[in-house]
A and B are shown apart, each in its own frame.
Chain A
């Protein structure tokens, strides 16, 4: 006998919400139009809770929980916004900005960048930590696309879309901690990759100007990830 998923009721920011038991707090909130910030999650891709922007307070739990991977439970009381959470989120963004070389004014994604938009939305207007100013080389070896690791925030959407939707698994992550970076195949130039199908999905899901189409000049890189949920549904991976 198949059991349909049970419906749970919970409270988010003082508001009664109901959702099936397989729904995450993030999905439940988004379904009723409530905003919880995220950068690594994208509808249609698996969830990894890497960016930690979606951390929320849950009554009775003494640590913050990532809303994107935490399933709703009956009677949960969730707080998505508080002084503490706002401060943590701004700090996360500051660390992201300080880790790479994010120069918005001359970036191809200027004006169309999720990192930039998030900073504005969360009220982050300056970085208090020292900029690391790493040396990172651009990979422009692919005929159609460019990777600029100075703008990469390691959200790994590119890794996931290439693996889960295109199936090529060209992208992966090398290194640990602050030395982590995305690579193609066995850390070869993207243009030499034998697995890449040049589909461009990675470019479309990249939230910043790290992955872009060649031929786009400053502020011209607009992404269109809308195909994702549709593709995922067609492949029956619901």
Chain B
């Protein structure tokens, strides 16, 4: 009798999802899927709203990465105003964006994944959580709490509150930085670096225990996509898109993210609210790509800050051949936190960072605006059109986690086929199905959105007029 396994809900991720596995009569895995079970429709219900409200409205898409949406949305609104915001405002937005990278990655690593990585994938499920880590390895738990807290405190010092700060606005930010707050931030960064280096040392040592996971956790060739600056270094705020294959080939060295609709297409599936984007020029199969920390490390030629660069080089030297394994997202996340702390320090020490000129004012001057940034989980695009009065006519969002949908589904299938050999299924096997998803650190509240303006429905009918195939383009 063929069996159907359901894991509901998937825990220790952001948002709502299920995993299903279909086994044949002999207990072999036929297929496995990752189902996202929530959708809210931000792009539709924001129609008719004044565009100036969009950043804070879009922030409510996610409570872990509201700053990402604030930044990408504000950039789209800057485009509607057709302005260039003051340089200090750019730097301040960069800092809050990096602080979010720090706290979000710290949450993902310490709170959501360390229970598996430190206590073990097969550990007692009642203890396999942050509280279990707290009980058995308090220093690790404290490190994680503190690191996330530092990121959150920097956001709070800049924006007034930790979650959904209304500080990032079209035209810049609505308050300059004070010297007092800058000192407070600078004082916390060395500790953040120490914690990250401690975690890296431990993680690198622990990797030898995870050979099977490295081999099976969404470990397959794919494309990788991320923003880079003009020197092909890590870039979270501006820059252009770059696509690199897992064998190192540069597939697209310089893509204008404003033209995203020409190279990203999506597929709708009946069994998940999340759509599946792929790189159009290579089609659905070859065009699967991944975004996020691992992708960013692979599309860049260097991070751009000294300690992060050292760690990245060591990672590639040791695991370069196996770098297509999504297990290394965890490694990449830690390197990115290191980068964030170094880069934030540089920006805070910039001579202009305390300037009072942090906001440009204008009326809408353009009816279409696109804003792109790198969220913790990958490339994020906000695309708005407005009417003559500044009311939103349409909104399209490409969400970081969405790009990874094809890879997550394939990863779940791969893990299922690797670990489940017959009808005897252990809790540890089921946990590994979830753990591969956790490696991607998905943000599912964010992810379920529309893509594409005026999609074209193409139907193929045969001679009798019966529907043979249907595509959305």
- A141, A146, A148, A219: the one contacting B166 at CB < 8 Å is A219
Bound: A138/B169 CA distance, A = 20
B389 to chain A, nearest CB (A): 4
CB contacts (< 8 Å) of A105 on chain B: these are 56, 60, 164
Contacting A138 at CB < 8 Å: which of B48, B56, B57, B363?
B48
Separation in Å of the B58 CB from the closest CB of chain A?
9
B52 near A138: Cβ-Cβ < 8 Å: no
Q: Given A105-B164, A106-B60, are A191 and B389 also a contact pair (CB < 8 Å)?
A: yes
Within 8 A of A (CB), among B327-374: 361, 363
Compute how far the CA of A143 lies from the CA of B55 in the bound complex, rounded to whole angstroms: 22
Residue among B48, B56, B389 with most chain A CB within 10 A? B389
B151 proximal to A (CB < 8 A): no
A215 within 8 A of B: yes
Contacts of B56 in A (CB 8 A): 105-106, 217-219
For residue A224, CB closer than 8 A to chain B, the reply is no
With A106-B53, A216-B52, A218-B53 already in contact, the answer to whether A140 and B390 are too (CB < 8 A) is yes
Within 8 A of A (CB), among B158-180: 164, 166, 169-170, 174
Out of B50, B164, B174, name the residue touching A146 (CB < 8 Å): B50
B473 at the binding interface (Cβ < 8 Å): no
Q: A217 to B169: give the CA distance in the assembly, Å.
A: 7
A137 interface residue (CB < 8 Å to B)? yes
A218–B52 Cα gap in the complex (Å)? Answer: 8
In the assembled complex, the CB of A196 is this many whole angstroms from the nearest CB of chain B, namely 15
B471 touches A (CB below 8 Å)? no
Segment 76-134 of A: residues with Cβ below 8 Å from B: 105-106, 108, 110
A142 to chain B, nearest CB (A): 8
- Cβ of A15 within 8 Å of any chain B Cβ, yes or no, is no
Which interface class (under 10, 10 to 19, 20 to 34, 35 or more) fits A? Answer: 10 to 19
Of A110, A138, A143, which contacts B49 at CB under 8 A? Answer: A138
A218 contact set on B, CB distance < 8 A? 53, 55-57, 166, 169
Question: A214 in the interface, Cβ–Cβ < 8 Å?
Answer: yes
Query: When chains A and B are docked, how far (Å) is the Cα of A140 from the Cα of B164?
Result: 25
A146 to B386, CA, bound (A): 15
Identify whether the interface residues of A are mostly helix, strand, loop, or mixed.
Answer: loop
B83 interface residue (CB < 8 Å to A): no
CA distance A23 to B140 in the complex (A): 69
Query: Is residue A166 contacting chain B, with contact meaning CB distance below 8 A?
Result: no
Question: Are A140 and B174 in touch, CB under 8 angstroms?
Answer: no
Residues of B within 8 A of A220 (CB): 166, 169, 174
Residue of A nearest to B49 (CB): A138
Among A108, A191, A214, A216, contact of B363 (Cβ-Cβ < 8 Å): A214
Check A217–B55 contact: CB distance below 8 A: yes
**Majority DSSP secondary structure for residues of B touching A:** loop
Q: What are the interface flags for B48-69 relative to A under an 8 Å C-beta threshold, 1 for contact and 0 otherwise?
A: 1110110111001000000000
With A105-B60, A105-B164, A137-B48 in contact, do A217 and B53 touch (Cβ < 8 Å)? yes
Is there a chain A Cβ closer than 8 Å to B429's Cβ? no
Q: Across the interface, which residues of A come within 8 angstroms of B170, CB to CB?
A: 217
**Smallest beta-carbon distance A13→chain B, Å:** 38
Within residues 52 to 90 of chain B, which ones have a CB less than 8 A from any CB in chain A? Answer: 52-53, 55-57, 60
Distance of B394 from chain A, by nearest CB (Å) = 15
Chain B contacts with A in 26-55, Cβ cutoff 8 A: 48-50, 52-53, 55
Q: Which of B301-329 contact A (CB under 8 A)?
A: none
Hey, which chain B residues are within 8 Å of A191, CB to CB? 389
Most chain-B Cβ atoms within 10 A of its Cβ — which of A108, A137, A140?
A: A140
| Chain B: minimal CB distance from A194 (Å) | 18
C-alpha spacing A108/B57, complex, angstroms: 11
Chain B residues, CB < 8 A from A146: 50
Complexed CA–CA distance, A165 and B53 (Å): 31
Given contacts A105-B60, A106-B60, A191-B389, contact A217 B52 (CB under 8 A): yes
Residues of B contacting A143 in the complex (Cβ-Cβ under 8 angstroms):
363
**Separation of A214 and B362 alpha carbons in the complex (Å):** 10
- Encode contact with B along A125-168: 1 for CB under 8 Å, 0 otherwise: 00000000000011011010010100000000000000000000
Contact status A138-B164, CB under 8 Å: no
Residues of A near B157 (CB, < 8 A) are none
Q: Which of B60, B166, B361, B389 contacts A215 (CB 8 A)?
A: B361
Asked whether B145 is an interface residue with its Cβ less than 8 Å from the other chain, the reply is no
Q: A140-B390, A214-B390, A218-B166 are in contact. Are A106 and B57 (CB under 8 A)?
A: yes
Q: State the A residues within 8 Å of B (CB).
A: 105-106, 108, 110, 137-138, 140-141, 143, 146, 148, 191, 214-220
- Nearest 3 Cβ contacts at the A-B interface: A140-B389, A218-B56, A217-B169
Sample of 10 further A-B pairs with CB below 8 A, known A105-B60, A105-B164, A108-B52: A106-B60, A110-B166, A138-B50, A140-B389, A143-B363, A214-B52, A216-B52, A217-B55, A218-B57, A220-B166
